[in-house]
Amino acid sequence: MRTAYRIETVRAAEAALMAKLPPGALMDRAAAGLAAACAGLLGRGRVSGARIVVLAGSGDNGGDALYAGVRLARRGAGVTVVRLGSRVHEAGLAALLRAGGRVADDPYAALARADLVLDGITGIGGHGGLRPEAVPLVRAARESGAVLVAVDLPSGVAADTGEVAGEAVRADATVTFGAYKPGLLVDPAREYAGAVRLVGIGLELPGEPDLEALQHADVAGLLPAPAAESDKYGRGVVGVVAGSKRYPGAAVLAVAGALRGGAGAVRYVGPARDEVLARFPETLVHEGPPGEAGRVQAWVIGPGLGDTPGLDEVLAAEVPVLVDADGLGLLDPEAVRSRPAPTVLTPHAGEAAQLLGTSRERVEAGRLAAVRELAARFGATVLLKGSTTLVAAPPPGPGAGGDGPASGGAVRVNPTGTPWLATAGSGDVLSGLTGSLLAAGLAPRDAASAGAYLHGLAARRAARGAPVAALDVADALPAAWRDVAGTEPGD
Ligand SMILES: NC(=O)C1=CN([C@@H]2O[C@H](COP(=O)(O)OP(=O)(O)OC[C@H]3O[C@@H](n4cnc5c(N)ncnc54)[C@H](O)[C@@H]3O)[C@@H](O)[C@H]2O)[C@@H](O)CC1
Ligand SMILES: Nc1ncnc2c1ncn2[C@@H]1O[C@H](COP(=O)(O)OP(=O)(O)O)[C@@H](O)[C@H]1O
Ligand SMILES: [K+]
């Protein structure tokens, strides 16, 4: 599990640790890790003679960068400091000057010649994005061809939310201290961070993070496996209400996902029975209303459904329900909140915007806030799809499903996937898959995060650098499942 903590928590852990250590010890640890990472990026034997520029802001983030500069200067690098703001970390600057570093006469000339630039403008103390005077320097650093290394965070991004107001440093790599910050894992900020390396500085952090990303072994521990005596009903039946005369394909895709999600049987309800059966003869089909379809342990409703017949009936069922696509358009928060069984909503940013009464752009700029807000408003587990897929469980309530702690618990960020997934119908596969995991007995937050994980992995396998169609993703799900399930704990 990869975990991330917000600024307040990191600062509290830092304060507790600093109280036990001599002054400067933590910054020294951070600078040592940073310098080692820079040496690695420059390459073996390339530190001596390397031209390094430190962009130093006024806080401790600049201090880290300056002390890393000291270590690199002692190994023979030529280190030049560009001061931003009225003051810099004076002890750090003095140490760097003693080690042979100097303050740049012409910052742009220094940047143009640099092999590596350290962005020490702001870290977790930054607010309000890059200031105007920093913008041209950051652009010059980006255009210079030097390796651009962000210290703790790319300056200009919001550590807690992943939001980026205006310009920010686009780093090749970020060396972060003590803990990942949410912004390093959530777009748009994630994209600015480049390759992220965590340097341990000995922080003791709380057991419950603000954000977590499952890894193979975590997902392996969640996936259902049939016992020797399981029958198909024991493994769970997932009901899929999807498709319409206009969009029969959505039904086929949702069923394709559902058949690969671990349920023992898939029941399809809707007008696309012929299309579904032609492709998947193993599907149980039903043409009447969902309530008469027979036993079902979890419902998926919405993909390609048009005007959503059956939504009220499905929501009335006392089993988990996943609502996607067209089903989301008519959703009444109170109807969802008052359900005794869990509900999972799987909007993309546009659908989330509609549900929240805001714009798509605002959802994409502030995904974490949007997913938390939706989970609270609907009392549902929400899987917000997109370039960073997030899963938030609701705060406790009738529909919470009992798997989230008091606050709703950590938001999960999905680490798999590929931009090739942005293809029509791939969301239908995901809703079928996730519904199937729900029917197999996974708790809502686990079903949603394991579903997103497998879906993203399958897409990567299917794509391997080329376009994929949604059905290719569904076809790659068993291989993705095997990759994950074959993982030993700790892998
Ligand atoms: N507290 C600790 O024990 C440790 C802190 N460390 C470093 O310290 C950093 C936090 O240091 P600080 O709290 O001093 O904060 P920062 O260095 O992140 O930034 C605060 C300073 O930047 C200025 N500032 C704020 N927003 C700005 C903006 N948009 N543009 C330009 N300047 C801006 C503020 O006036 C303040 O002087 C961490 O990110 C990390 O790099 C590490 O050394 C590890 C240990
Ligand atoms: N830029 C992106 N990078 C990675 N994955 C993406 C990106 N954009 C969309 N996706 C993923 O693609 C899928 C698209 O689903 P959705 O928007 O519901 O499309 P559809 O309704 O056509 O099925 C989701 O799993 C989503 O997370
Ligand atoms: K920085």
Q: How confident is the model at residue 488 (pLDDT cuts 50, 70, 90)?
A: low
What would the mean pLDDT of 456-465 be, rounded to a whole number? 96
What is the DSSP annotation of 42-69? H-TT-STT-EEEEEE-SSHHHHHHHHHH
User: Is the pLDDT confidence value at 330 over 90?
Assistant: no
What torsion, rounded to 10 degrees, do the Cα atoms 412, 415, 419, 420 define?
A: -110
Which amino acid makes up residue 478? P
Residue nearest to ligand 1 atom 1, measured at CA: 14
**Is residue 451 in contact with ligand 2, taking CB distance under 6 Å?**
no
Q: Which residues contact 59 (CB under 8 A, 6 or more apart)?
A: 89, 122, 123, 125, 126
Contact yes or no for 430/230 (Cβ under 8 A): no
Binding residue per annotation — 435? no
Give percent above pLDDT 70 in the chain.
97
User: Is the pLDDT confidence value at 451 over 80?
Assistant: yes
**Is residue 434 in contact with ligand 2, taking CB distance under 6 Å?**
no
Residue nearest to ligand 1 atom 9, measured at CA: 61
User: Is the pLDDT confidence value at 215 over 70?
Assistant: yes
Q: How many CA atoms lie within 13 A of 488 on its CB side?
A: 1
Q: How far is the CA of 122 from the centre of ligand 3 (A)?
A: 5
The gap between the terminal CA atoms of the chain, to the nearest Å, is 11
- φ/ψ (deg, to 5) at 469: -100, 160
ipTM of the complex: 0.92
- Strand 411-413, strand 211-213: pairing: parallel
Identify the CATH number of the domain defined by range 2-212. 3.40.50.10260
Residue nearest to ligand 1 atom 42, measured at CA: 27
User: Is the pLDDT confidence value at 327 over 60?
Assistant: yes
The per-residue pLDDT for 401 is 47
SS3 299: strand
The per-residue pLDDT for 234 is 81
* Signed CA dihedral, 27, 30, 35, 41: sign only: negative
The total number of residues shown for the chain amounts to: 491
What is the DSSP annotation of 187-253? TTHHHHH-EEEEE-------SS-SEEE--HHHHHTTS----TT--TTTT-EEEEE---SS-HHHHHH
Query: How many angstroms separate the CA atoms of 118 and 132, rounded?
Result: 19
Q: How far is the CA of 48 from the centre of ligand 1 (A)?
A: 29
Give the helix ranges, DSSP H, for 90-134: 90-98, 107-113
pLDDT digits (tens, 9 = 90+) for 120-174: 999 999 999 999 999 999 999 999 999 999 999 999 999 999 999 999 999 999 9
Contact yes or no for 239/293 (Cβ under 8 A): yes
What would the mean pLDDT of 418-434 be, rounded to a whole number? 96
Residue nearest to ligand 2 atom 16, measured at CA: 427
**Is residue 215 in contact with ligand 2, taking CB distance under 6 Å?**
no
Q: In which residue are the tokens 């806080």 written?
A: 59
Which stretch of DSSP H or E encloses residue 275?
Answer: helix 273-279
Between 226 and 72, the more confident residue is 72
Cα Rg, the chain, nearest whole Å: 25
Mean pLDDT of the chain: 95
pLDDT digits (tens, 9 = 90+) for 332-390: 999 999 999 999 999 999 999 999 999 999 999 999 999 999 999 999 999 999 999 99
What would the mean pLDDT of 382-406 be, rounded to a whole number? 77
Cis omega (within 30 of 0) for bond into 188: yes
Burial 342-367 (b: 16+ CB within 10 A, else e): bbbbbbbbebbbbbbeeeeeebbbbb
* 472 token code pair: 């290719």
Q: How confident is the model at residue 486 (pLDDT cuts 50, 70, 90)?
A: confident
- φ/ψ (deg, to 5) at 191: -65, -25
Query: How many angstroms separate the CA atoms of 16 and 14, rounded?
Result: 5
**Lowest mean pLDDT across 1-10, 312-321, 394-403, 410-419:** 394-403
Check residue 52 and give left, alpha or beta (phi > 0: left; psi -120 to 50: alpha). Answer: beta
Please state the domain extents for the chain.
2-212, 216-485
| Ligand 1 environment, Cβ below 6 A | 14, 18, 26-27, 30, 57-62, 64, 85, 121-129, 131, 151-152, 177, 201
Binding residue per annotation — 128? yes
User: Is the pLDDT confidence value at 193 over 60?
Assistant: yes
Q: How far is the CA of 255 from the centre of ligand 3 (A)?
A: 46
User: Is the pLDDT confidence value at 406 over 80?
Assistant: no
Q: Which CATH superfamily is domain 216-485 in?
A: Ribokinase (3.40.1190.20)
- pTM of the entire structure? 0.94
The per-residue pLDDT for 285 is 96
Residue nearest to ligand 1 atom 21, measured at CA: 59
Residue nearest to ligand 1 atom 27, measured at CA: 126
* Candidate from 58, 70, 174, 181 with most ligand 1 atoms within 8 A of CB, to mutate: 58
Query: How many angstroms separate the CA atoms of 39 and 48, rounded?
Result: 10
* 144 token code pair: 């210079």
Q: How confident is the model at residue 407 (pLDDT cuts 50, 70, 90)?
A: low
Query: How many angstroms separate the CA atoms of 412 and 98, rounded?
Result: 46
